[in-house]
Chain A
Amino acid sequence: MMIEFIAGKYNYWMASVLMMIGFYAIISKHNLIKKIIGINIFQTSVFLFYISIAKISGGTAPIIWEEATKYDNPLPHVLILTAIVVSVSTTAVALALVIKIYKSFGSIEEDEIRSMSVEETANRAAK
């Protein structure tokens, strides 16, 4: 009974473990690029959650084939295809913002940026 329970739900637990790793990277690292890497790991764990819902035991890939009896559910695959492309767009715009932050503040560590005073920023912009 316990083994059945674990074998039936371990995919959701794996997705939550990955999600928590990404979440920890977002909230506790100070470097901005490491936060962006954490966002990527978080998104990948959500994709794993959706695709593991779509699987039927004994099913095959959703491409029509004569020898197949059961097909996997194709709807989550379509959702995740769109989500992967959106994730790369978000990463690209986030990196462009990081480059602009570096140009105007001079560092990409979050605690240094927060403690930099207004006049230092004005001095750097005037240079």
Chain B
Amino acid sequence: MRDLFNSIILLGAYSLIMAIEWTVLNAVDVAFTEASVGAGITTVILMAALSRVKRDEKINIHGSRFQFSRFIPLLVVFFTMILLIYGTMDMPFYGDPNAPSQTYLAPDYIERSEHETGSPNIVTAILASYRGYDTLGETTVIFTAGVCLILLLRVFKNNER
């Protein structure tokens, strides 16, 4: 029997390492969000869900025959990986200042955001002012998740719903 508790702790450690990686890549807002949401909230709600289901995973004791069907996922994964690496042959180099993603809209936003919105943080200025409608959509998504949880897991007595 393999314990699921260990897998959840490893996921928390993985989220923390990814948060350090975002800091190395100069993405400080993303690092803050990943450290607080990934290493904090995801680990806690996975543990809370684990307390209501079985804690151990069942290990199949496979028979003595060599079953080919156990290797199919591995073959599919290798094949997809070769396709993905073939797809990255044309992409621009890492850190290239002349790549199409760096020359289209980003210099406009970087120049205009300080004196149009009055906030030094360009990411917050884009999130709240230039793309404020998308942030409204995101708030709706997290509100919907809260409502879904209430409807799925709360027990209403005597037609309180």
Contacts and interface: CB of A to CB of B under 8 A. Distances in A.
Direct A–B touching, Cβ under 8 Å: yes
B77 A20 contact: yes
Contacts of B144: 89
B52 A102 contact: yes
A78 B101 contact: no
Interface string A13-45: 100110110011001101101101100110010
- Is the interface on chain A under 10, 10 to 19, 20 to 34, or 35 or more residues? 35 or more
Interface string A64-108: 110000111111111011101110111111011111101000011
Interface in B99-125: 99, 101-102, 105-106, 109-110, 114, 120-123
Interface of A: 7-13, 16-17, 19-20, 23-24, 27-28, 30-31, 33-34, 36-37, 40-41, 44, 47-48, 51-57, 59-65, 70-78, 80-82, 84-86, 88-93, 95-100, 102, 107-109, 112
Interface of B: 4, 7-8, 11, 14-15, 18, 21-22, 25-30, 33-34, 37-38, 41-42, 45-46, 49-50, 52-54, 57-58, 60, 73-74, 76-77, 80-81, 84-85, 88, 91, 93-97, 99, 101-102, 105-106, 109-110, 114, 120-123, 126-127, 131, 134-135, 138, 141-142, 144-145, 148-149, 152-153
